[in-house]
Amino acid sequence: MKTMVAVLTVLTVIIAFWYAACLPMNIKGVLTQAERAGAEVVPVGAKERRDLGAIGLVLGNQFAIAATWSQDRPRLPAPHQVAVELWKTTGAMVLKGKPMSKRSLIFHGWVTLSATLLGFAMGTGLGILLAVGIVHSKVMDMSVMPWAIVSQTIPIIALAPMIIVVLYSVGVQGILPKAIISAYLSFFPVVVGMVKGLRSPDAMQLDLLRTYNASANQGFWALRLPASMPYLFTSLKIGIAASLVGAIVGELPTGAVAGLGARLLGGSYYGQTVQIWSALFAAAILAACLVALLGVIERVVLKRMGMSA
Amino acid sequence: MTTETTTQAVIEARNLDLVFQTNDGPVQALRDVNLTINKGDFVSFIGPSGCGKTTFLRVMAALEQPTGGEITVNGMSPDEARRQRAYGYVFQASGLYPWRNIARNITLPLEIMGYSKAEQKKRLNEVLELVELSGFEGKYPWQLSGGMQQRASIARALAFEADILLMDEPFGALDEIVRDHLNEQLLKLWARTNKTIAFVTHSIPEAVYLSTRIVVMSPRPGRITDVIESPLPKERPLDIRDSPEFIEIAHRVREGLRAGHGDDV
Ligand SMILES: Nc1ncnc2c1ncn2[C@@H]1O[C@H](COP(=O)(O)OP(=O)(O)OP(=O)(O)O)[C@@H](O)[C@H]1O
Ligand SMILES: [Mg+2]
């Protein structure tokens, strides 16, 4: 109950702040339009207003306040505008029986999600394999780990176009390049978390296995792998969010026509800020759902393993 | 040393030395340690912190390599003995796997050693009964008290039939009442199974109550200063601790510890 109140309070504050921010952000556009429509605006003339402070304009033209929240192409759309757009492009589409239409965020979301999931699976698999290698072989630890770290210091936004161009030149296109960018971002947290997890058993537990004359392989399955599970899940939650970012970034440089990234790009071409924001929110909601889903799986798995005490 | 005792010897250490190379220079953990442990002995190691008790036990278990001298376990090197699974080792912490229930914790060594499912089940029931944990096999470690967890870890060490049990302060973290109870159980178990036990402890009464022989050690460098044969009978009710013999041995152990301490403490 208490947490509920806290969460709602924070949410209310954010939304209130957002509405307030719409005033100075949108006032100039609103006033220009109002003036054109014949309203009395202080001061007169867009040129005069250009150098004035936005807050002063809001105070001087209070009649225009409501309009800052309902523009067609605001600089900053108001929360309800984004919400309406989200509904129109998701729920309303479903009700109309066209959930997969080109205008539907469900369609675009699915395009991005499928690349995300594929990339996440590839990244996780690669991450686990690398971690196992690193833990078992000192040579791999010394040779692979630095490259894994370096790989994450290159801005993905610079790398993504190159990956896509290179893959295109060898005939790979469609979902795979996006998934590869997505995997590129998600393998790293998995490597780091898994290495830590696989190394988490203490010296005593390793000594105990030694007294049984257990092989490295037996030690891996009986001790290291189960001990790494909590670490793995923490990494997976970071990894899936990174995967989604990767898939969206992968949609930007190709001028893709489908996917949340394409919606972002299209929105910015045509100044459709409401569309940009609703795509952003769709991405955030999708990420939250994916992370929450992993949280549920984590709870179930750890509980079944008896580790949820 | 007569030939008779050598044929019975399970663990024999001769002029054993062990020096750890640390960043602060070499640490002599064991110096010139000589000891023979015979089959069926219950030998306790007692001494101040840092005198090398754990190190000695770990050498027996081939978890540390001595830097000098010789040691044999069952007539072979500790490492060969380890590979033949000659001993069970009980650490101070139970080290149970939180993701395995008690039964699967106890059968862990059996799984690793490739026992059949039926054999695993049979041995599980035997050792559960030995440590009086029958009925708890389905519980997870966190559902058990510290004393029960330690009993489970002893059961795990007993599950594969090693003749030697190496125990490093297994009851160190438990309160006195629980400890008394577990000591009594351990003695019964020892009598029933005829194992050879090497037992590290900080408690004089525990050492005297349990052992056929008490090895007093002293630090810097770690060495054996006294070996006390216990005249107590094999059958030992808890109230034997009030008998004059018991008090006399305890006194001797205390004297030995004090002598070893020198002016350090
Ligand atoms: N792995 C190691 N590396 C370096 N020094 C060590 C190592 N293990 C033990 N030592 C040192 O060897 C000496 C003996 O340690 P050991 O653990 O055998 O003592 P102990 O008698 O078991 O003490 P306690 O009663 O506190 O358990 C100590 O001085 C300790 O610091
Ligand atoms: Mg110790």
Q: Count interface pairs A-B at CB distance under 8 A.
A: 56
Structural domain span for residue A12: 2-75
* Residue B231, amino acid: P
Residues A188 and A61 in one domain: no
Q: How far, in Å, CA of B69 to CA of B75, rounded?
A: 15
Q: What is the DSSP string of chain A?
A: -HHHHHHHHHHHHHHHHHHHHHHHHHHHHHHHHHHHTT---SSSSHHHHHTS-HHHHHHHTGGGTGGGGS-SS-SS--HHHHHHHHHHHTHHHHHTT-TTSTT-HHHHHHHHHHHHHHHHHHHHHHHHHHHHHHHH-HHHHHHHHHHHHHHTTS-HHHHHHHHHHHHHHTT--THHHHHHHHHHHHHHHHHHHHHHHHT-S-HHHHHHHHHTT--HHHHIIIIIHHHHHHHHHHHHHHHHHHHHHHHHHHHTTTT-SSSHHHHHHHHHHTT-HHHHHHHHHHHHHHHHHHHHHHHHHHHHHHHHTT---
3-state secondary structure at position B137? coil
Rounded to the nearest angstrom, the distance between the alpha carbon of B28 and the centre of ligand 2 is 15
Inter-chain residue contact A222 with B108, CB threshold 8 Å: yes
Q: How far, in Å, CA of B225 to CA of B235, rounded?
A: 28
Residue closest by Cα to atom 18 of ligand 1: B52
Q: Is A212 on the interface with B (CB under 8 A)?
A: yes
Q: Is A176 on the interface with B (CB under 8 A)?
A: no
Count the residues in chain A: 309
Count CA within 13 A, CB hemisphere, residue A304: 6
Quote the pLDDT of residue B253: 92
Span B104-131, average pLDDT:
94
Inter-chain residue contact B140 with A218, CB threshold 8 Å: no
Please report the atom of ligand 1 found closest to the CA of residue B58.
18
Are A122 and A179 contacting, i.e. CB atoms less than 8 angstroms apart? yes
Residues A282 and A164 in one domain: yes
3-state secondary structure at position B60? helix
Q: Is A225 on the interface with B (CB under 8 A)?
A: no
Q: Is A34 on the interface with B (CB under 8 A)?
A: no
Q: Which ligand is nearest to the CA of B29?
A: 1
Q: How far, in Å, CA of A116 to CA of A29, rounded?
A: 38
pLDDT 10s digit of each residue in chain A, 309 long? 889 999 999 999 999 999 999 988 888 888 888 888 887 877 877 777 878 788 888 888 878 888 889 888 898 999 999 999 999 888 888 888 877 878 888 899 999 999 999 999 999 999 999 999 999 999 999 998 899 899 889 888 888 889 888 988 998 888 899 999 999 999 999 999 999 999 999 999 999 999 999 999 999 999 999 999 999 999 999 999 999 999 999 988 776 788 899 888 888 888 888 999 999 999 999 999 999 999 999 999 998 888 764
* φ/ψ (deg, to 5) at B44: -105, 145
Mean pLDDT across chain B: 90
B137-181 tens-digit pLDDT: 999 999 999 889 999 999 999 898 888 999 999 988 888 888 888
Q: Which ligand is nearest to the CA of B91?
A: 2
Residues A118 and A215 in one domain: yes
Which residues contact ligand 1 via a Cβ below 6 A?
Answer: B 20, 22, 27, 29, 47, 49-55, 222
Residue B1 above 80 pLDDT? no
Residues A213 and A261 in one domain: yes
Q: Which residue of B has its CA nearest to A216?
A: B112
Please give the structure tokens belonging to residue B20. 């750890």
Residue closest by Cα to atom 12 of ligand 1: B29
A225, part of any domain: yes
- The residue that leads in pLDDT, A51 or B74, is B74
Mutation target vs A (from B64, B79, B89; most A CBs, 10 A cutoff):
B89
Q: Which ligand is nearest to the CA of B55?
A: 1
A81, part of any domain: no
Quote the pLDDT of residue B265: 46
Residues A281 and A142 in one domain: yes
Among positive and negative, which fits the CA dihedral A215, A218, A222, A228?
positive
Residues A276 and A166 in one domain: yes
Inter-chain residue contact B99 with A305, CB threshold 8 Å: yes
Q: How confident is the model at residue B3 (pLDDT cuts 50, 70, 90)?
A: very low
CATH number listed for the domain at residues B1-86+164-265 = 3.40.50.300
Rounded to the nearest angstrom, the distance between the alpha carbon of A23 and the centre of ligand 1 is 70
Residues A117 and A244 in one domain: yes
Residues A69 and A113 in one domain: no
Rounded to the nearest angstrom, the distance between the alpha carbon of B50 and the centre of ligand 1 is 5
B209-260 tens-digit pLDDT: 999 999 999 988 899 999 999 988 888 888 899 999 999 999 999 998 888 7
Quote the pLDDT of residue A308: 66
A267, part of any domain: yes
Q: Where would I find the beta strands (DSSP E) of B202-245?
A: 213-218, 223-229
A88, part of any domain: no
Residue A142's domain is classified under what CATH number?
Answer: 1.10.3720.10
Cβ partners under 8 Å of residue B44, min gap 6? B199, B200, B201, B206, B207, B210, B211, B213, B214, B215
Q: Is A79 on the interface with B (CB under 8 A)?
A: no
Q: How confident is the model at residue B262 (pLDDT cuts 50, 70, 90)?
A: low
A191, part of any domain: yes
CA B90 to chain A, closest CA, distance in angstroms equals 8
Rounded to the nearest angstrom, the distance between the alpha carbon of B49 and the centre of ligand 2 is 7
Whether omega before A43 lies within 30 degrees of 0, making that bond cis, reads yes
Least CB–CB distance from B112: residue in A204, A205, A218: A218
Percent residues over pLDDT 90 in chain B: 71
A292, part of any domain: yes
| Confidence check on the interface: ipTM exceeds 0.85, yes or no | yes
* φ/ψ (deg, to 5) at B253: -65, -45
Are A108 and A279 contacting, i.e. CB atoms less than 8 angstroms apart? yes
Q: What angle do CA B104, B57, B92 make, to 5 degrees?
A: 45
Residues A186 and A41 in one domain: no
Q: How confident is the model at residue B6 (pLDDT cuts 50, 70, 90)?
A: very low
Residues A145 and A66 in one domain: no
Residues A144 and A16 in one domain: no
CA A222 to chain B, closest CA, distance in angstroms equals 8
Chain A residues touching B97 at Cβ < 8 A: 205, 222-223, 226-227
Q: Tell me which residue has tokens 């009594």.
A: B184
Cβ partners under 8 Å of residue A2, min gap 6? none
Chain B residues touching A229 at Cβ < 8 A: 99
How far is residue B219 from each of residues A209, B52, B77, measured CA to CA in Å? 29, 7, 26
Least CB–CB distance from B85: residue in A213, A306, A309: A213
Q: Which ligand is nearest to the CA of B168?
A: 2
Are B91 and B153 contacting, i.e. CB atoms less than 8 angstroms apart? yes
* Residue A45, amino acid: G
- The residue that leads in pLDDT, A55 or B57, is B57
CA A232 to chain B, closest CA, distance in angstroms equals 15
Q: How far, in Å, CA of B252 to CA of B239, rounded?
A: 19
Residues A61 and A117 in one domain: no
Rounded to the nearest angstrom, the distance between the alpha carbon of A89 and the centre of ligand 1 is 68
Q: Which of B31, B55, B92, B225 to mutate to test the pocket of ligand 1 (most atoms within 8 A of CB)?
A: B55
Structural domain count, chain A: 2
Rounded to the nearest angstrom, the distance between the alpha carbon of B166 and the centre of ligand 2 is 12
A97, part of any domain: no
Chain A residues touching B80 at Cβ < 8 A: none
Helix (H) or strand (E) holding B99: none
Inter-chain residue contact B111 with A222, CB threshold 8 Å: yes
The residues of chain B that CATH labels 3.40.50.300 are: 1-86+164-265
Q: Is B118 on the interface with A (CB under 8 A)?
A: no
